Amino acid sequence: MTKIAFAFDVGNGYVKAKSNKREIIAPSSIAKKSSLGNSSLTGLLNDTSYDYSVFKTQLDDGEEYVWGKDIAKAVDPKDLIDTYTHNDRYNQKRFKLLCLFILSELANDYSEEELKDVIIVTGLPSQEIDSEEANNFKSFLKQTYVVTRNGEQKVINITDVRMVEQPIGTLLNTYMNEEGQILKDLLTQTITVVDFGAGTTILDTFKNMKRMPTKSRTYYEGINDLHREIATRLEIKHGIKNLSPSLVDQGFRRDDFTAIISARRKFPFDEIAKEVIIEFIDNTLSNIDSTLTNRDTIDSFVITGGGVNIVRDTFKEKFNEESVVFVEDSQKSNLLGFFKLADNLTK
């Protein structure tokens, strides 16, 4: 029986997922189907203006949810069910539902016969690897699931789950070829990875491919916190009530630095963003320097994560090191490394 490789990175802001047939990037938020409104339900599956699907799982029988790339456009921000939390995240029902929706979306390209032997590789913040919570999450994933997507039911049998430190994905993507061979630099050098995620900023140092705990740490502050701070300052400046940080995120992604509430209510935040980014990087560098007390022992620094595009210039200027590599396609770099590992496990 042929094994199928799936990889995903369930970030606090965005999901990144991959099979050998497609890649997915979508918000880490779900919504109940009822949140779409009655006028949207009739033509839901025929409406191509937004990219999302309808799901139903054994985890919440009777309830239908929507999730996909355009979920934040299709649903009012107040109706989004966010999976972002540092409090027992992997045991939350909303997080587990999201994971099943990811699996169902990837499984859509395969027959049920092909889905009888699926391998998953995913990543967690480094300090959470081998924790009780992580092991429970692994046990949850390694099961057989029945998920209905857009009215079509499929059975997905997960036979193997590998969980690795999130930054390992970037290193595998950078230093491992398609045949699974590790390049010499990863085996011999001391490399520090800084991963700017939505909910965390991870500092991991690897020597001879082994993580060095005394030179590594997960900081539970990420780009979501930056979005929230900008939203809060916009509220104070303009007297706005309950401005969703997701509107700030969308302003960064459009590159217009504007929180758009409606066609007539738009609030530029470029100047506020500059201030908040500087404060965020100053705090991050203080954390890094307290953990990595001697940078001279590091051969190279690798910068990755979905938040790199936001903080890159400020971090580069203030970090002030020559041997710094900003990985290409930083939002997907961990995912691509996870998939290389998963694909090699199928051979």
> Interhelix angle for 308-319 vs 330-345, to 10°?
110
Residue 137 within any structural domain of the chain: yes
Residue 22 within any structural domain of the chain: yes
The model carries a pTM of 0.89
CATH number at residue 127: 3.30.420.40
pLDDT at 231: 97
Residue 198 within any structural domain of the chain: no
Cβ atoms of 94 and 43 within 8 Å: the answer is: no
Residue 184 within any structural domain of the chain: no
pLDDT at 257: 97
Residue 192 within any structural domain of the chain: no
Domain encompassing residue 90: 4-167+336-345
Residue 27 within any structural domain of the chain: yes
List % helix, strand, coil for the chain (3-state, nearest 5): 45, 30, 30
Q: Is 30 exposed, middle or buried (0-12, 13-18, 19+ CB in 10 A)?
A: buried
Assigned token pair, 158: 């997960």
Q: Report the number of distinct structural domains present in the chain.
A: 1
Q: What is the dihedral of CA 267, 273, 274, 275, to 10 degrees?
A: 110
pLDDT, one tens digit for every residue, the chain (347 residues): 689 999 999 988 899 999 999 999 999 999 999 988 754 444 545 455 789 999 999 898 879 999 999 998 888 888 999 998 878 899 999 999 999 999 999 999 999 999 999 999 999 988 889 899 999 999 999 999 999 999 999 999 999 999 999 999 999 999 888 777 888 888 889 999 999 999 999 999 999 888 999 999 999 999 999 999 999 999 999 999 999 999 999 999 999 999 999 999 999 999 999 999 999 999 999 999 999 999 999 999 999 999 999 999 999 999 999 889 999 889 999 999 999 999 999 98
Residue 190 within any structural domain of the chain: no
Residue 124 within any structural domain of the chain: yes
Q: What is the dihedral of CA 183, 187, 193, 195, to 10 degrees?
A: 60
